[in-house]
Amino acid sequence: MEIFYRELKLDRASESRKNKDWLLQQWAQQQCRVYVLHQDKSLMHWPDREAQPEVIQLSQDQLEGLATDNPIFLGIDGSIPLFALDLSGQSNENLAVLPQSGEFIDLREYGWLLDAQQAGLLAYARGLAFWNRNHQFCGICGQLTRFEHGGHMRRCSSTSCDRLHFPRTDPAVIMLVEDRSDPRNPKCLLARNSRFPNRMMSTLAGFVDPLESLEETVAREVFEECGIRVEQVEYQASQPWPFPASIMLGFRALAVTREIKVDGVEIEEACWFDLEQLKEFGEWGDGGDTFCLPRKDSIARYLVESWVRDVTPPGSAV
């Protein structure tokens, strides 16, 4: 089971990108390729909605007529330098030079349709573009910040402050809660957040509070949202989630209590589901009328499928 938006096959060149001259050399290379974004959407080619979207990479020649200040360095793919260019502030007239077959598409809605590596690169580009666009001013003194290290750092322009700012990542836990009170019929807790489509059921999640361990966050969030007490909180996997700036830390936890009391604010509905019930779930976006699983690009889907695999009796179809 693959987790999207991570394990990029890319040399991020963390030390080299601190050298401005080196970055300029990479940007000037003929084989340099650029991902273009506008208001957090990525340029893609998708004329047939029944087929897979195609990610568009632009060459230097195709950037003529665009303002190319502050290209965001992503890394080196083999020998090819990869950059991202945020065109959010540019006029429609400037955008008209882009390939007519392209359109700006929201990765958060359609990333699961892409190849995992391409989706990961677009997510990486989106996260850095969002941070740079929204951190134009120093949080200490209020002065403008300068773009440095290929967009991986910003420096306060005030010489008396000179504070360095780095991209922020907000830690959040996401957890599958299981009920093993009947070993012959294990169940997992899935819920529908008020922001979800009507049919989608997913795992619980929440942000880590200051001075709180990850295990404490899991227990607190499950109790606050569904009134369930848990123990045996065990880490499973993680996923970068740049929508806009999170890292999702996946866990599995064992229910101590089983009576569900949803908070009615974030969580509108929650239920225990066994294996047979999960088999009846549809897919996100399939247009059916049954409950559906989370999208395939989410760690929530990974947690559910991992649990299904682990509790399926040997010899049975998963």
Residue 286: is its pLDDT beyond 80?
A: no
Q: pLDDT tens, 23-54?
A: 999 999 999 999 999 999 999 999 888 888 99
What's the pLDDT at 96?
84
pLDDT (average), residues 132-147 = 97
pLDDT (average), residues 60-85 = 93
CA 245 remoteness from chain centre: 8
What's the pLDDT at 284?
78
What's the pLDDT at 318?
60
What's the pLDDT at 92?
80
β-strand 164-165 against 153-156: which pairing, if any? antiparallel
What's the pLDDT at 228?
98
Ramachandran angles phi, psi of 258, nearest 5°: -130, -10
Q: Using CA atoms, how far apart are residues 130 and 20, in angstroms rounded to an integer?
A: 22
Greatest Cα pair distance in the chain: 68
pTM, rounded to two decimals: 0.91
Residue 317: is its pLDDT beyond 90?
A: no
Q: pLDDT tens, 262-284?
A: 998 889 999 999 999 999 999 87
pLDDT (average), residues 203-214 = 97
Residue 140: is its pLDDT beyond 70?
A: yes
**CATH match for 170-311 among 3.90.79.10, 3.40.1010.20, 3.40.50.2000, 3.50.50.60:** 3.90.79.10
What are the residues whose beta carbons fall under 8 Å from the beta carbon of 11, sequence distance 6 or more?
Answer: 75, 76, 77
Task: Provide the residue ranges of all domains of the chain, joining segments of one domain with +.
Answer: 16-134, 170-311
What's the pLDDT at 195?
85
What is the residue-averaged pLDDT of the chain?
Answer: 94
Answer yes or no: are the C-beta atoms of 122 and 42 closer than 8 Å.
yes
* Region label for 99, one of left (φ > 0), alpha (ψ between -120 and 50) or beta (otherwise): beta
More confident: 231 or 1: 231
What's the pLDDT at 1?
72
What's the pLDDT at 19?
98
Structural tokens at position 20? 């401005």
